[in-house]
Amino acid sequence: MRAGFVTKEVLNGLRRNITLTIAVVITVAISLSLLGVGLLANSQVRVMKDYWYDKIEVSIFLCGQLSDSPTCSGGPVTAEQRAQIESDLKTLPIVANVYYESQAEAFARFKERFKGTALVDNVTADQLPESYRVKLKDPKQFAIVQSAFSGRPGIDSVQDQRTILDKFFKLLGVLRDGALAIGLISVLTAALLISNTLRIAAFNRRRETGVMRLVGASNFSIQLPFLLEGLISAIIGWGIATGILAALKSLVDARVAPLLTFTNFFGWADVWNASLLLLLTGLVVSAIASFLTLRKYLKV
Amino acid sequence: MIRCENVAKTYSKQDRPALDSVTLEVAKGEFVFLVGQSGSGKSTFLRLIIREEKVTSGRMFVAGKDLSTLSQWKVPEFRRGIGTVFQDYRLLPNKTVSENVAFAMQIVGAAPKEIAREVPEVLELVGLDDYGHRMPAELSGGEQQRVAIARAFINKPQILIADEPTGNLDPTMSVGIMKLLDRINRTGTTVVMATHDDKIVDQMRKRVIELENGIVVRDQVRGIYGYSG
């Protein structure tokens, strides 16, 4: 068949079933948007992880006056112990950099944090522990630091800030998985609607397809107009979904980002990547749904 | 052109065969009437010829193809060599007469130039020169059947199958259709026509094959309708 003839047949088909075409376009648009939101949620979690894991540290608190853990039974950390700890830290290959916080600095930070409360007046600098703030190249490798340093004389405790964040990210992960699941389910709904629509279209046009068969049209050329109708609806729906995601991104940039300054947000690249994935999903799902339906309802 | 060797067809869920041990041959350029009461197997026979159904047993050769071994994906190509006409015309109501005829060429991928040349020619052949822009609903039954014949003939088939083409037409119109089929037959096209119209069969004096309960009971050169039913 010629391209011009096929185009005419496809446009005719879309026009004749205009209400169903609109239903398919809207369903595809909504389901792909939902899936897209799930994908962007995924990007957002990744961006936040990058942002926060980049800032978290491992704190190694040294023994001070008030420390009562067994490793501090020898009293406050000695100068040799401190020097040994520092040089050990610096030779550890997973450590990115080490920052020493003295008692005076800890006290300054403490005063800043509890400004205006009675606590500030009751605490003196020598009551606060000095510490090493250790930045790891890969924050997941905390266990190595812990096994190397905790329990060592002169060290009170080794703390990983990541454990605090992990709970937060677990929660975000659940939300993200939920969004993705809803997206996938609605894509399935769209697939079923496409399949149903094509079944109705095949029934409406059984005269045409019957004549096509009689004059010796191949299976492929009988099915092609239907397949293209499904794909075109899917592509229009995808265009709308991409528009919705872009609008969402603009909204986040304009309204949400200025309020939530503690994190970065997903970028335009994430939107385009999600859009590309949605296009693939839309095309593949529509093609599979069409193929399975037409094979059943348009037999030679 | 058509050769049957012991052809039988039993539809699934039925015990009695619709066709049983049919052995016959139709030569190129022949005109054959297929007669018999409803349910005698005429339609089944025609459906086997256009490979809408597969034979249950026996062998069937049509237009040089062995239909019992023809693979499914080659069926469309095979059908392009056969024109089909039905009692109910089967025109597309939302296409003009020209478009209906052109459809058969578009399906097989003919060039627009070729279509523009051939469609008026074949419309002239069936006597509808000026009807190209009309819609099927504006035409009489006889005219619609002429359009259907034009569509069946435009790809120059070797065989034309007609399943009661005059079944819905009055006698005058029927005569016109028969003249047209006769003219197509004279171009060398083999015509197989199933019919209930005794007057036409008696008038034309062509070969008559009569089926009864799926069995060929009569095969007569220059035959007559021959039974009252």
B76: tokens are 């469309």
3-state secondary structure of A299: coil
Nearest to B109 among A2, A208, A219 (CB): A2
Is A215 in Cβ contact with B79 (below 8 Å)?
Answer: yes
Nearest to A211 among B72, B75, B103 (CB): B103
A285 and A192 in one domain? yes
Query: Mutation test of the interface with chain B: which of A10, A215, A219, A295, choosing the one with the most B Cβ atoms within 10 A?
Result: A215
What lies within 8 Å, CB to CB, of A29 at 6+ separation is: A236, A237, A238, A240, A241, A244
A251 and A180 inside one domain: yes
Q: Report the CATH number at residue A112.
A: 3.30.70.3040
Q: Are residues A130 and A214 in the same domain?
A: no
Q: Do A172 and A46 have their domain in common?
A: yes
Q: Which residues of chain A are under the pLDDT cut of 70?
A: 1, 299-300
Do A248 and A150 lie in one domain? The reply is no
Do A168 and A87 lie in a common domain? no
User: Do A183 and A268 have their domain in common?
Assistant: yes
Q: Which residue of chain A comes nearest to B95, CA vs CA?
A: A208
Note whether A177 and A196 are same-domain residues.
yes
Task: State the DSSP string of A37-79.
Answer: HHHHHHHHHHHHHHHHHTT--EEEEEP-TT--SGGGTT-SPPH
- Summarize pLDDT for A128-153 with one digit per residue, the tens: 888 888 888 887 788 888 888 888 88
Contact flag A218-B80 (C-beta cutoff 8 Å):
no
Low-confidence ranges of chain B (pLDDT < 50): none
Q: How far is CA B118 from CA A3, B110, B113, B115, B153, in A?
A: 20, 10, 9, 5, 11
Q: Does the beta-carbon distance from A211 to B92 stay under 8 Å?
A: yes
Using CB atoms, pick whichever of A5, A216, A221 lies closest to residue B79. Answer: A216
Chain A partners of B82 at a C-beta cutoff of 8 Å? 216
Last residue within a domain, chosen from A159, A189, A212: A159
| A129 in the same domain as A201 | no
What is the reported pLDDT for B229? 52
> Domain residues for A76?
56-159
- What is the domain partition of chain B in residue ranges? 90-155
The ipTM value here is 0.80
Which parts of chain A are beta strand (E)?
58-62, 95-101, 131-136, 155-160
Pick the last residue of a domain from A159, A179, A203: A159
What residue type is A67 in one-letter code? S
Domain boundary among A128, A159, A190: A159
At residue A95, the pLDDT reads 85
Instruction: Produce one character per residue of A266-276: b if its CB has 16 or more CB atoms within 10 Å, e if not.
Output: beeebbeebbe
Question: For the sheet containing A131-136, what is the strand order?
Answer: A95-101, A131-136, A58-62, A155-160
Collapsing DSSP to helix, strand or coil, A297 comes out as helix
Task: Verify that A136 and A78 share a domain, yes or no.
Answer: yes
Would you put residue B112 in left (φ > 0), alpha (ψ -120 to 50) or beta? alpha
Distance from CA of A1 to the nearest CA of B (A): 4
**Total domain count for chain A?**
2
DSSP state of A69: S
> Are A215 and A147 members of one domain?
no
| Structure tokens that stand for A218 in this block | 């191949």
- Interface size A-B, in CB pairs within 8 Å, comes to 59
Across the interface, whether the CB atoms of A207 and B104 are under 8 A apart is answered no
DSSP assignment, residue B32?
Answer: E
Of B72, B77, B84, the CB nearest to A214: B84
**Is the same domain home to A32 and A173?**
yes
Pairing, β B19-26 against β A131-136? unpaired
